[in-house]
Structure 1
């Protein structure tokens, strides 16, 4: 399998930062948020309000730092043997010869999402989009994140090959969850993305988690009006 280091795109978008929401860009007149926020949204929507609407900053947790270190190590190793390519070239070549890429950027102005895919396998038969996570549990939030990567890739390419979403145990080759990106799955993730846009536009309220275990381990709890101190 060829290794393709995707360094850019043939198509460029004019972007500007949202005036009030940190991390949101305006592309083609529509709010565009990072796909990784869907993981956070599934954990607790109010975290998104505190971090990006209120602008509250907290130190990275040891788990976050460890995850970033592993990502960087794998990316460095990958680039040593990878061939530079544009996104469009890599997709086209994969129709006749299998290839893989890491940290593949995808963007969809239509759905208002963007993000980096940890790893993508493109073969003449199928596309497999992989997101690395700690542990081996496929949470609804992490499944939604990788589903949104699939949606963005499909929107960018109009590729007719089957697309699969997968979660992999970080630092291993263990794909502990995999799913075909069907029309029903596509409808479900579009619904979730629409809700996210409603939150950012102010037409829907941010709903805090009701799970006390999440609250106790939350790095925003000291700033959260919903946190019940024990």
Structure 2
């Protein structure tokens, strides 16, 4: 399997959305980081506290450790990876299996963007892998990898004029290991489900839908915003 460092940075013009930190406006559509779907599934209100109200709290030890592991894996990957464009990699992967890490992906139509931990391209399929610290496939984790699949599929369709029909598989892997503990074929039902959730996220950001706080006190106890949250149940 060849390692490719895909240079795929955005060339879209954008404006920052003043009401919500981290949100961009591209072609008139709100665009948010895909990683926020993991936060949304944990507690929507924490998104509001951090990015709408601008409350800042220190990162947890787990967050710092995760960032460190990600960086170490990326640095090791770069030692053998060769620079390549997304278009060229799509073409060569029809004959040679290819792997890329920390691949930037953006889809203005759906209003999402982010970095995929790992993409494996084979002659038969694309495997979109998101690394997680444990081995339990939480709904929030599944939603995050589904959104990566959606954006990836859209980019493939644009580059190939809809002629590359290799199936897409979303996968969750235990961080720092080869242990893939969840896989799912990205079919039409899955696609429709994640589009529905993305539309809800846009509603939250633009203010047409309310942020719903978690009803789980265990989540509140471990939340780094608990001392700033009026909905704290712990």
Coarse TM-score class (shorter-chain normalised): over 0.9
Q: Tell me how many residue pairs correspond in the alignment.
A: 228
**What SS does structure 2 have at the residue aligned with 1:196?**
helix
1:198 aligns with 2:197: no
Corresponding residue for residue 28 of structure 1: 27
Note the C-alpha offset of 1:130.
Answer: 0.2
Structure 1 distance, partners of 2:92, 2:16, is: 34
Equivalence map 1:162-173=2 (5 Å): 162-173=167-178
Corresponding residue for residue 113 of structure 2: 114
Structure 1 distance, partners of 2:123, 2:55, is: 45
1:3 aligns with 2:25: no
Corresponding residue for residue 48 of structure 1: 47
Corresponding residue for residue 160 of structure 2: none
Structure 2 distance, partners of 1:157, 1:200, is: 28
Note the C-alpha offset of 1:96.
Answer: 2.0
Corresponding residue for residue 182 of structure 1: 187
1:147 aligns with 2:152: no
1:133 aligns with 2:159: no
**What SS does structure 2 have at the residue aligned with 1:119?**
strand
**What SS does structure 2 have at the residue aligned with 1:23?**
coil
Corresponding residue for residue 69 of structure 1: 68
Gaps of 5+ in 2: 158-163
- Taking structure 1 as the reference length, the TM-score comes to 0.97
Corresponding residue for residue 218 of structure 1: 223
Give 4+ residue runs of structure 1 displaced > 4 Å after superposition. Answer: none
Q: Is the 2:215–2:233 contact (alpha carbons within 8 Å) kept by the matching residues of 1?
A: no
Q: Which moved more, 1:123-132 or 1:11-20?
A: 11-20
Structure 1 distance, partners of 2:98, 2:110, is: 27
- Taking structure 2 as the reference length, the TM-score comes to 0.95
Note the C-alpha offset of 1:15.
Answer: 1.5
Structure 1 distance, partners of 2:66, 2:31, is: 25
Structure 2 distance, partners of 1:228, 1:142, is: 23
**What SS does structure 1 have at the residue aligned with 2:91?**
helix
Corresponding residue for residue 155 of structure 2: 156
Structure 2 distance, partners of 1:93, 1:27, is: 31
Corresponding residue for residue 161 of structure 2: none
Gaps of 5+ in 1: none
Note the C-alpha offset of 1:30.
Answer: 0.6
Q: Which moved more, 1:86-95 or 1:137-146?
A: 86-95
Q: What do the CA deviations read for 1:128-158 (whole angstroms, capped 9, x no partner)?
A: 0000001100000000000000000011111
Note the C-alpha offset of 1:228.
Answer: 3.5
Structure 2 distance, partners of 1:95, 1:33, is: 31
Structure 1 distance, partners of 2:174, 2:78, is: 21
1:227 aligns with 2:232: yes
